[in-house]
Structure 1
């Protein structure tokens, strides 16, 4: 598995600080014109409501272990993102996951004994600060429209995360997940590249489901998401080819974030 983020923080985040009208009253938000944190991200968390859009460009797999999460693949090897340049800017058509668009913000519980979520940010991002130019974060002690929009986006992301949890529980409870393997055969007939270290849905197990279970999965919207995932796996070969084109020689091991 990939090394854990610093201090056990989520992927991309180096630090977290709650946004405060007292501590950050005069701060502004600016567009830094780059997303270097994304430049070497080969696997990014995905919510189920993004499956239909993401499956056009990215293989969708599930992390290994007992608590798997959906991931959109940007590359087949750790540190390889074939869709962006060194600044994290897209260099070809792609889907940018909401997880990426949310950064440097997220909602977090500041106290373990409370369910209340507070808007936090990564102070190392360079997006927020006491800048001369930019959009105010607070106006007369109240969140600005910029922050209100950010908060709404983060709230929707949390709701989508809950829907993703339901989806994953259905896969697990119905024993539909199996260890995945992608075999890439080169035209020259040399030994194939074999990628492991992730999970996928077993199409065979889906076809063996009882009729009442299938009906439930269709009615709850789970079945279309399963097939969006399965269709997306055909892009493994495309991803491999892009790595070759960019001189990012692939190694036969897919390492996903823990």
Structure 2
């Protein structure tokens, strides 16, 4: 069902990556997009741990499969399906927008594998950036504008949140709390239930079996509230399925029964 960020050199959403600089991009401006069209085929978006409390109200929070799982906010139950956006690429209803989305088309990246220095880069295929007459200038007199400084600050905050997320994931692995997830959803028109796999979730049984001192440490370092936010959010997976069925986007579901009340 859900997958980790793409197994290429480019992360989710990014089609290309170019370092922002005052020589090549002196006349570049940033303008708002009329809808998040770049999200229309994205069913899962990386999420930082500090966002769990807000995100769990609107999205199921799961963990990708594999030995190095990352938290994901589900926007659809199947790859290529996003039920949160309408045909114009706009949110159907008010919902929390993950920082990963708000950061796009910018990110901090290492230009050389042997360097620890991070540079502000952007996706040149994004229509929000270019030599436009309107929008916020990225450079003024050859120096980063206030807009660019704010973008850089946001990206730096995001990287710090990523480090905090890595600590949270290590805590889950240290206590062996993750297990392969499986969700079965019955549908009245089909003899067999829909079965969704390919993700990880917290094992509630193992969580209950933790010793008191282990639970206390998880509570003190902030991991325990995040675990429960994740577990509470899983209830929304059925809501996602129902919306996909209403939209006619559940694989192998007969069209005449796609309307869900």
TM-score between the two structures when normalised by the length of structure 2 = 0.91
Aligned residue for 2:161, secondary structure, equals helix
Is 2:59–2:75's contact at 8 Å kept on the other side of the alignment?
A: yes
Is 1:108–1:119's contact at 8 Å kept on the other side of the alignment?
A: yes
Query: What are the within-5 Å matches in structure 2 for residues 1-258 of structure 1?
Result: 5=6, 8-187=9-188, 190-250=191-251
Is 2:139–2:145's contact at 8 Å kept on the other side of the alignment?
A: yes
Is 1:18–1:121's contact at 8 Å kept on the other side of the alignment?
A: yes
Is 1:39–1:87's contact at 8 Å kept on the other side of the alignment?
A: no
Partner Cα distance (1:2, 1:46) in 2 = 13
Inter-CA distance 28–8: structure 2 relative to 1 (3 Å threshold):
same
Partner Cα distance (2:112, 2:63) in 1 = 30
How much has 1:30 moved relative to structure 2? Answer: 1.5
How much has 1:8 moved relative to structure 2? Answer: 2.5
Is 2:41–2:82's contact at 8 Å kept on the other side of the alignment?
A: yes
Aligned residue for 1:229, secondary structure, equals helix
The 10-residue stretch of structure 1 (242-251 or 225-234) with the greater mean CA deviation from structure 2: 242-251
How much has 1:128 moved relative to structure 2? Answer: 1.5
Is 1:61–1:200's contact at 8 Å kept on the other side of the alignment?
A: yes
TM-score between the two structures when normalised by the length of structure 1 = 0.93
Partner Cα distance (1:251, 1:69) in 2 = 29
Question: Cα deviation per residue 1:208-257 (whole Å; 9 max; x = unaligned)?
Answer: 111111111000000000000011111111111011111112469xxxxx
Inter-CA distance 5–233: structure 2 relative to 1 (3 Å threshold):
closer
Inter-CA distance 134–120: structure 2 relative to 1 (3 Å threshold):
same
How much has 1:9 moved relative to structure 2? Answer: 0.5
Q: For the aligned residues, what is the CA RMSD?
A: 1.8
Aligned residue for 1:8, secondary structure, equals coil
How much has 1:31 moved relative to structure 2? Answer: 1.6
Q: How many residues align?
A: 252
Is 2:4–2:70's contact at 8 Å kept on the other side of the alignment?
A: no
- 1:256 alignment counterpart: none
Is 2:48–2:165's contact at 8 Å kept on the other side of the alignment?
A: yes
How much has 1:88 moved relative to structure 2? Answer: 2.4
How much has 1:116 moved relative to structure 2? Answer: 1.2
Inter-CA distance 14–189: structure 2 relative to 1 (3 Å threshold):
closer
Partner Cα distance (1:4, 1:112) in 2 = 19
Partner Cα distance (2:38, 2:137) in 1 = 24
Any gaps of 5 or more consecutive residues in structure 1?
253-258
Partner Cα distance (2:186, 2:245) in 1 = 13
Question: Cα deviation per residue 1:30-82 (whole Å; 9 max; x = unaligned)?
Answer: 12312211011111100011101111111110000000000010110011111
How much has 1:187 moved relative to structure 2? Answer: 4.2
Partner Cα distance (2:3, 2:238) in 1 = 22
How much has 1:196 moved relative to structure 2? Answer: 0.4
How much has 1:189 moved relative to structure 2? Answer: 6.9
